[in-house]
Structure 1
Amino acid sequence: MGGQPDLGRADLLTMLAELTAKPAAEVSDRVGSMELAWLVHLVEQRYDRRLDLTDDELAGIRTVDDALAVFRASLTTSADG
């Protein structure tokens, strides 16, 4: 797989569904600070890796797709390094 994590949009929606106690299909695409903290925690647990994210990266995460792009980049970098 070349270090590319198998993290997908559906995974993040499922994680958010756990937090909100809603079905994944009803989870909002918007990510607030509490949702972001939750996602970072679960992704770190799932991959047994710390996501070394900058303040700028965190501030740029406003949607599930933003989070997915940042998490994938961080996981790929830490896997290669």
Structure 2
Amino acid sequence: MSGQPDLGRADLVSMLAELTASPADQVPDRLGSMELAWLVHMVEQRYDTRLDLSDDQLAGVRTVDDALAVFRGSLTAPADG
């Protein structure tokens, strides 16, 4: 994969809607640890990759937009080795 991933806010909201069995427009913006773990798992599956996120990066994720920024950064980072 090259360039910016096609991951968007709507994708994350859709993934959260699947987790909570709620309509997308009822998914809260705030993320708990379970929601964040679910999103990491889903993004890793979707892009067939492992997100190498630090504890500091994960601790900084509080909202859907925070998660989107961290995931995009990780997905576009050059792979080591």
Please classify the TM superposition score into its range, dividing by the shorter chain length: over 0.9
Q: Deviations over 1:11-54 (max 9, x none)?
A: 00000000000001100000100000000000000000100000
Name 2:21's counterpart in structure 1.
Answer: 21
Higher percent of residues as helix:
1
Match of 1:31 in 2: 31
CA-CA distance at 1:69 after TM superposition: 0.1
Using the alignment, how far apart are the partners of 1:64 and 1:51 within structure 2?
A: 16
Q: Matches of 1:6 and 1:13 in 2, distance apart? A: 14
Which one-letter code corresponds to 2:21 in the other structure? A
Can you give the 5+ residue segments of structure 1 that lack an aligned partner in the other structure? none
Please name the residue that 1:46 is paired with.
46
Q: Distance in 2 between matches of 1:10 and 1:20?
A: 15
Q: What secondary structure does 1:12 align onto?
A: helix
Q: Separation in 1 of the partners of 2:34 and 2:43?
A: 14
Moved segments of 4+, more than 6 Å: none
Query: Over aligned residues, Cα RMSD in angstroms?
Result: 1.2
TM-score normalised over the length of structure 1? 0.94
**Which residue of 2 is the match for residue 7 of structure 1?**
7
| Match of residue 70 from structure 1 | 70
Q: CA deviation at 1:3?
A: 1.7
State the identity as a percent.
78
Pairwise CA distance, 1:2: 4.8
Pairwise CA distance, 1:60: 0.2
